[in-house]
Each structure stands twice: as structure tokens, then as C-alpha cells.
A and B are shown apart, each in its own frame.
Chain A
């Protein structure tokens, strides 16, 4: 993978390089509008996009922040596999986790030891998220956000930098012939784990705020992609909208909750990451997301810059303690516009008395509503009550309550 010595390349090589560059650029522009690059450039944070459909699963976009964090200028990482950031002391287990997430096409967060261009190691929280085409659920890109982990909290001793740099330089040689030929690149890893150094550094733990920062950066990028995908009539979302994976509501429940006028979603409390399994008509018109896009997503999908992490943490705490809460939040529509969101989240129990769903009632505070003399906070609860009644009659399997045999 020669990235230097461009002066001596023959015209054929140059042509091939130009062709490669066009190919990389079109990975984004063919799916989003031409302005997507400018829009991404304006987003803060260190992140990159990779295209699993191209040979070698190359990086097709690198943010400005990435250059500052890693020391790699953009032109040096484009076209290369993201493993370029890994080095000798990078933990094998962490790498294996990343590989597994790529293969399973799911989001993943892990603290990992990366190496800068000058060979110095640094801990980052890597947030990996697949980007799917909403219509058919096909995988378009992987998004990788790197959030530096506060150096003061690192447990690793000094003196790691120097040997790391040397080894990293050696490894550069070893990587050259590793481009896989093709077929399914999606399963291919960002890093080649077999050559990882054995003396992995003490694992470093990211703080909650770093985790949330990574998640929020990822969400704002996905929402930017969403915005710009609209222009080429193609939509993406942070989570595959896979109807197979999302349990359908029973028809009786669908019928009874379908009558409710308020804007709300139901999330499944027992599935990982609490995916949305139902969205009301009012929610669809409030946020601009179609039902197909939103089903299977986590409620974070409405987050964006300025969405309070503390408030989201507060919601999480209430969810954990099976309590209801009402919060004031900044949420984002699909088109990127924001609204003041009066959000009520409440656990909903089925006939067994166990929490089966959570209801998230969203209210655009800025819009005109007639609450018939109730406060907006109380008005929202009408939807909650109606859903409670409907779900109360369902057994744990989601069907109507029947005699147990």
C-alpha cells in the first residue's frame, strides 16, 4: 500500500489512482447529494466512513477532526482500511469485538488503543455504527467515531510511546499484502487481529460522558446523512430496518393503539437497545420519519447537537427503576430541524405485570395544541393510559390473554 513516492509512478498508475479517488468519492456522492461532503466537513468530532462494498473495506471519508486527533492528513487515509490506526499494543479482544460487530452489521462501542501517524499510542473510544439503506435494509457504510479518552484517567504507565512507534513502523511492512480480494467485504475487519501484539496495554475504561459524546456524534452524523440522502431520494438510518428482527404487534393491540391521536412510539423493553416497534401516525408527521425508517431504531435517533445528555441519562435512570418521567428535550426531525420536545417516557406492563414496552410520547412545545384545559404534561398521559389498558389485556407472548394449559 504505497502512499508515498507518487513522483515516480507511471501514467498508468496515476490514472488508476485518479480512478480510485473518483471511486471513493462516488461511494458517498452516489448515495447522498454532492453537498454531503461539505456538510460532513462542518460537523465537529473525529470520525470516518468506510465502504464495505469496495475491495479492502476502505475509508471513503475522514473528518477534519480526525486529522487533528491522529495526525493523518485526509489524503493519507482515504482508500486505506481503518486498521491503519491500530498498532502493536492494541488489545486483541477489543479488535475481535470490532470484527464481530462489523460482521454482524451492528453498532459497537469499545475503548481501544490507537496509534497516531507519528507512532505514539493514544486511547480512544471507538463508536462503530452501520448505516443502512432504509428501503431494502442493505448495508451502505460503516461509521466510526473516535472520541479521545481523558489521558488523566489512563492507567497505563509512561514509556509506551517509543517502542510502540518502532513496532508500528515494522508492522506497516507486514500489512502491505493484506488486501482481501473481494466477495463479502462487509465481514472483513478493520484490523487484522492475528498480528496484534501480545503485550496489550491495561484496558482503559471510557467515562459515561465520553460514551454519550460518541453516541451523540454518531447520531448527528447519521442525521446529516439522512438529510442529504433525501435529495437523491435514498434514505439511511442508523439501524437496519429489518422487519424480521422486530416483533410485530398483535393485530388487536395494533388496532387499539392505532386509534390514539398523540405522537408516540413504543419500544420493546426486552430486546437489546430497546428498538422502536410501533410509531403513531402523529409521530410520523411530527418527525418526518416514515414508519419503515423508524421501526427498529432506538429513540436516540431524534437526538442531535444540543440534545442534553444529562436529560437522556435521567430518562435511562427512570427506565431502569421502572418509573415514568417527563422531560424537556431538544429533538431533531428527519430534515434536521429541531423542536422543543416535551417527552414523557413510561413503562407499560402486560397481563403478567411485567414491563413489556416503554411508551415515549413526544409533544412539540412550539406547535399549537388544544389541551382542553389540561396542562400539556397531563394531556400526554391520555395516550399512556390508553396504551396501558390495551397492553394490560395481553399475555407475555403478546397475544390476548388465554387460559394457561
Chain B
């Protein structure tokens, strides 16, 4: 990958933001994407096998490992045993007695601390690993110590990692209106997946409920092996390859119904998926997203709405990766039990057909 040129001191983007809504005094590592040149994402994808790890990948892994090494995490997730659960689907189980799934309220409290990034209000700052924003130069740029620009994503280490490198991706400007779904942030998250350019890196999104409707954030971590859903067979329901570079498929024989959007054209992918998410939000539907394959593939898992948490399953569980708190749960994990859990969260046939048609219509629409 290209190496970025270093920017000394303040980053130029700051000047565009008015001083009032700019968090003051907070400095972090800032990574700015190079300016978009049409369809150059394909190129970086092709490069992935021969080239070394990308700059963003290296920075992210460095920062995360450093954070873990300094003892800020509650546990070493790589010391947690993994196993492939017997059966044909290769679901993965992890034994982790310390993992703590945030309840929505805890999420709220957590993000409250990042809501207004002021130097004095934020004591525990080590968790902020990096800020990523769109840049204006021809090459990606790295500023070692810059104030996060308003339109960036903050990468914050999750102290209860589900897997190695678990981070939250939180928009810098969390106060702005209508942030339940921000297409620009989704675009940024997808671009991060593309620029990290590591097949192990996955980005997740779980749609919010009433409790967290004002909070849009993504999560990401590194899974060494393919997730079961990524190996599931699919059948195309809309092939827009000729016109829009987008293929929409659905999974076959996977206990949780899912739609898969595939494209090497990142912009088109973001447009289509974003449009669908808008409409799902309008209907207050519950769903999860999984961005994989270096940002060229997005899995959409529509779910039966759970009154408390919105989504019944977090995105990694939709993908086939489960954390067990006790040894007996871990030892007794069975494919049947998991399949039943997934099936109970899966959309009814009729509702899924409707969603499928909606997706095809949107994909068709955006081509014109």
C-alpha cells in the first residue's frame, strides 16, 4: 500500500469547522483518506494478496495491541478458547467468562463520555485509538496529533472485546440531528473496511431501538477465519452487474434469512445499502449489517424486533460467531440450538419477500 505523508501540527480540515462546535483540546491520531478517484477501490482489492498490510491496518493493529498491552482491557481475548461447533455449518463458539455485552443503557453512558470531547470531562482517554476522516490530498495522510474533524469517525477500543481488535466506530459529531442513519458515516465505515484491506477485518452495525435511537455507531474486529454466513451458499435475486456493478443475493439454507450486496464499486454499494437502511429505519425495523470481504460485501440480517434490545442477535452472532460465558454452555453448544435461536430471530417468509422486492427496487432505482 501507499505510505502516507505526515502532516505536522494542526490538520487543515480544522479551519473549516467553526470553533464553537469543535471539541477543544482533544488530540488524537488522525488518518485522512485520499481524495476519491472514481472507481479506484477495485485496484486496492486486487492488490491485497501481493502487497503487505495497508498503512491503516498496521496503525489500527498497533494502536489496539498497544492498548491491550498497557492493561486497559479486562481480559486477553486471544486467551479465550475457540472451537468449531459440530455440524455442517461450522458455527464458532468462544469460551469467555468475562465478556460483557453492554446493555443499551450502558452503551448510552459509554457514549455520553464521548459525546462532548472536552479535555477536562474525559479522563479515560486511552481508548481513543484513532480518528478517520475523508481527506483532500492525493495520498492518505497521517497526523500524529490532531483535533478530530467534525465529519470523522472515532475509533475507540472496546474494553470487552468479542474478538481481537474490537473497536467502536463513533461519529465525532454525535450531537447533530438525524444521526440515526448517516449515509456519510456508513460510507466512511465501508471505506475503512476497504482501506484496512485485510480479509480478517469485519465491520458491524446493529440498528438501534427507541433507547438508542439517537446513537449511530459501528463496531469492528478481526476474525481470523471466514464466518459461517460468508461461506453459506447464495442465490442472486438481482443482478445489476451490467448496469450498476451491484449484485443482490439471498442466503440459501442458512437458518437466519439474509440479503447479500456485492460490488467492487464502493460508492454504488454504499448508495444502495444506505437507501435500504433509511427505509428500514422509517419502518423502525430491526436489522444488523456485516461488512466483509474488504468492503466489497455487505450482509443484511433483518430481524424480528425485540422489544428491549431491538435486534435479538448482534451482527457477529448473525454471522455465526457465539460467545459462551460458562464451560458447560461452551461444551454443550450445539448447531441445533444455534439454528433454532437464529430461526426465531429470522423474518417471516412474507416480510422477507417484501424486503427483497424493496431491495431490488432500490437497486434498480439508483441505476437510473
Bind each other: yes
Asked if B316 lies at the interface with its beta carbon under 8 angstroms from chain A, I say no
Contact indicator A381/B61 (Cβ below 8 Å):
yes
Contacts of A339-362 to chain B: CB distance below 8 A: 346, 348-349, 351-353
Nearest residue, chain A, Cβ from B77 = A392
Interface pair B65/A385, CB less than 8 Å apart: yes
> In whole angstroms, what is the CA distance A261 to B76 when docked?
25
Q: Is A379 in contact with chain B by the CB < 8 A criterion? A: yes
User: In this complex, what residue of B is CB-closest to A326?
Assistant: B69
Q: Does B80 contact A353, Cβ atoms closer than 8 Å?
A: yes
B53 within 8 A of A: yes
**A106, CB-defined interface residue at 8 Å:** no
Chain B residue at smallest Cβ distance from A370 = B3
Verify A403–B87 contact, CB threshold 8 A: yes
Smallest CB-CB separation from A261: which chain B residue?
B52
Contact of B225 among A346, A401, A405 (CB under 8 A): A401
A365: chain B residues within 8 A (beta carbon): none
Q: Contacts A373-B142, A373-B144 known; A353 to B65 CB distance under 8 Å?
A: no
A4 within 8 Å of B by Cβ?
Answer: no
Output the least CB separation between A153 and chain B (Å): 39
B59, A386: Cβ atoms closer than 8 Å: no
Cα–Cα, bound, A394→B82 (Å):
9
The answer to the question of B143 belonging to the interface, with a C-beta cut-off of 8 Å to chain A, is yes
Does B86 contact A385, Cβ atoms closer than 8 Å? Answer: no
B31-85 contacts to A (CB < 8 Å) = 51-53, 55, 57-66, 69, 76, 78-85
The answer to whether A353 and B86 have CB atoms under 8 Å apart is: no
- Whether the pair B165, A353 counts as a contact (CB closer than 8 A) is no
Q: Tell me which residues from 350 to 405 in chain A have a Cβ below 8 Å from any Cβ of chain B.
A: 351-353, 370, 372-374, 377-382, 384-386, 388-394, 400-405
A372 touches B55 (CB 8 A): yes
Residues of B within 8 A of A261 (CB): 52-53, 58
Chain A nearest CB, measured from B221 CB (Å): 9
Say whether, besides A382-B53, A404-B86, A393 and B62 are in contact (CB < 8 Å).
Answer: no
Q: Which residue of B lies closest to A400 (CB)?
A: B225
Instruction: Please judge, given known A-B contacts A373-B6, A381-B62, A382-B59, whether A402 and B53 are in contact too, CB under 8 Å.
Output: no
Evaluate contact between B78 and A349: CB separation under 8 angstroms.
Answer: yes
A392 contacts B224, CB within 8 Å? yes
A372 touches B142 (CB 8 A): yes
A259 within 8 A of partner (CB)? yes
A386-B78 in contact (CB<8A): no
B interface SS class: mixed
**A260 lies within 8 A of chain B by Cβ:** yes
Instruction: Decide yes or no whether B164 CB sits under 8 A from chain A.
Output: yes
Closest Cβ of chain A: how far from B71's Cβ, in Å? 10
A-B contact count (CB 8 A): 123
- Residues of A with C-beta under 8 A to B62: 374, 378-382, 385
Query: Nearest Cβ in chain B — how far from A399, in angstroms?
Result: 11
Report Cα–Cα, A370/B222, bound state, in Å. 25
Asked whether, in the complex, the Cβ of A389 is within 8 Å of the Cβ of B222, the reply is yes
Shortest CB-to-CB span from A384 to chain B, Å, is 5
Contact residue among B61, B90, B163 (Cβ-Cβ distance under 8 Å from A386): B61
Chain B residues lying within 8 Å of A370, measured Cβ to Cβ, are 3, 6
B13 CB–A CB distance under 8 Å: no
In the complex, whether A324 has a CB less than 8 A from a CB of chain B is: yes
Q: How far is the CA of A373 from the CA of B27 in the complex (A)?
A: 13
Please, which residues of chain B bring their CB within 8 A of the CB of A379? 58, 62
With contact pairs A374-B29, A393-B224, A401-B225 given, residues A381 and B86 touching in the complex (Cβ less than 8 Å)? no
B62 to chain A, nearest CB (A): 4
Q: Are A381 and B87 in contact (CB under 8 A)?
A: no
Most chain A C-beta atoms within 10 Å of own C-beta, residue among B78, B92, B198:
B78
B224 in contact with A390 (CB, 8 Å):
yes
Q: In the bound complex, what is the Cα–Cα distance between A1 and B78 (angstroms)?
A: 63
- Contact with B64, one of A259, A380, A385 (Cβ below 8 angstroms): A385
Q: Which residues of A contact B66 (CB under 8 A)?
A: 377-378, 381
Is B200 interfacial (CB-CB < 8 Å)? yes
Question: Residue B65 contacts which of A351, A388, A404 (CB distance < 8 angstroms)?
Answer: A388
Q: Which chain B residues numbered 100 to 144 have a C-beta less than 8 Å away from chain A?
A: 142-144
Is the Cβ of B53 less than 8 Å from the Cβ of A259?
yes
Judge whether B4 is part of the interface by a CB distance below 8 angstroms: yes
Contact with B along A184-201 (1 / 0, CB 8 A): 000000000000000000
- Identify which of A352, A381, A405 contacts B81 (C-beta below 8 A): A352
Q: Is the CB of A353 within 8 A of B83?
A: no
Query: B65 to A384, Cβ gap below 8 A?
Result: yes
Indicate whether A353 sits within 8 Å of B78 (C-beta atoms), given known contacts A261-B53, A385-B164, A386-B53.
yes
- Residue ID in chain B nearest A405 by CB atoms: B86
Contact of A259 among B51, B85, B163 (CB under 8 A): B51
Residues of A within 8 A of B95 (CB): 353
**Contact partners of B222 in chain A: CB under 8 A:** 385, 389, 392
CA distance A349 to B4 in the complex (A): 32
Judge whether B61 and A372 touch: CB under 8 Å: no
Residues of A within 8 A of B81 (CB): 351-353
Q: Which residues of chain A are near B29, meaning CB under 8 Å?
A: 373-374
Question: Smallest CB–CB gap between B155 and chain A, Å?
Answer: 14
Contacts of A392 in B (CB 8 A): 78, 82, 163-164, 222, 224
Evaluate contact between A382 and B164: CB separation under 8 angstroms.
no
List the B side residues contacting A378 at CB < 8 Å. 62-63, 66
Residues in A neighbouring B198, C-beta threshold 8 A: 389
Cα(A402)–Cα(B87), bound, Å: 11
Q: Give A343 Cβ to nearest chain B Cβ, in Å.
A: 14
Indicate if the CB atoms of A351 and B143 lie closer than 8 Å.
no
Q: Is the CB of A373 within 8 A of B143?
A: yes
Chain A residue nearest to B52 (CB atoms) is A261
A385 lies within 8 A of B224 (CB): no
Question: Which of B79, B84, B145 contacts A402 (CB under 8 A)?
Answer: B84
Cross-chain pairs A/B with CB under 8 angstroms, 30 sampled: A261-B58, A324-B69, A348-B78, A349-B79, A352-B82, A353-B79, A353-B95, A372-B55, A374-B59, A374-B62, A379-B62, A381-B61, A382-B59, A382-B62, A382-B65, A385-B61, A385-B64, A385-B164, A385-B222, A386-B61, A389-B61, A389-B164, A392-B82, A392-B222, A393-B225, A400-B225, A401-B82, A401-B84, A403-B85, A403-B86
Question: B residues bordering A, Cβ < 8 Å?
Answer: 3-4, 6, 29, 51-53, 55, 57-66, 69, 76, 78-87, 90, 92, 95, 142-145, 163-165, 198, 200, 222-225
**Given A261-B53, A390-B224, A403-B84, 9 further pairs, Cβ under 8 A:** A346-B69, A353-B79, A372-B4, A379-B58, A385-B64, A385-B222, A388-B78, A402-B90, A405-B86
